[in-house]
């Protein structure tokens, strides 16, 4: 089954304790991306990656890091989490665009609470 898998689904942690949210896709997609969703703000893009070892900042990259060492994985790293990073996070992937009309496939989301 084609899917984007995020782990963990829920996490409560404390300020300053480094954490990683993993994202893996099994569709051989080139493009992967992270978003955060906050009430009243919609989804905002954090980082995206068009290929292995290529990452770009989205609209809200501050406080986050990503890496793309393999095509299927795109982890989101919070080196020193703060309460304002409490949010619902989504990972998404899609095939390379150009003439492709494929939309992004989204994972089930990770609800992060930072105390």
Which is closer to another protein, CB of 12 or CB of 14? 12
Which is closer to another protein, CB of 48 or CB of 64? 48
Which is closer to another protein, CB of 1 or CB of 103? 103
Bond before 8 cis per omega within 30 degrees: yes
How many residues appear in the chain? 115
How are beta strands 110-114 and 10-13 bridged, if at all?
A: parallel
Interaction pattern, residues 74-113, with another protein; x per rule: CB under 8 A: ----------------x-x---xxx--xxxxxxxxx----
Our finding on whether 1 is near another protein (CB under 8 A) is no
Listed residue (107, 103, 74, 77) closest to 92, CA to CA = 107
Task: Go through 73-87 and write b for each residue having 16 or more CB atoms within 10 A of its CB, e for each that does not.
Answer: bbbbebeebeeebbb
Our finding on whether 69 is near another protein (CB under 8 A) is no
Which is closer to another protein, CB of 42 or CB of 53? 42
Our finding on whether 14 is near another protein (CB under 8 A) is no
Point out which residues bind another protein (CB under 8 A). Answer: 31, 33, 35, 40-45, 48, 50, 54, 56, 58-59, 90, 92, 96-98, 101-109
């Amino acid at each position: 089954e084609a899917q984007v898998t995020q782990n963990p689904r829920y996490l409560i942690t404390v300020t300053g304790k480094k954490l990683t949210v993993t994202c893996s896709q099994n569709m051989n997609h080139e493009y992967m991306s992270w978003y955060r969703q906050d009430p009243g703000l919609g989804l905002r893009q954090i980082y995206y990656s068009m290929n292995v070892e290529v990452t770009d900042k989205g609209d809200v990259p501050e406080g986050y890091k990503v890496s793309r060492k393999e095509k299927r994985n795109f982890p989101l790293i919070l080196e020193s989490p703060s309460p304002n990073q409490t949010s619902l996070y989504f990972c998404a992937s899609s095939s390379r665009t150009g003439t492709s009309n494929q939309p992004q496939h989204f994972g089930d989301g990770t609800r992060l609470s930072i105390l």
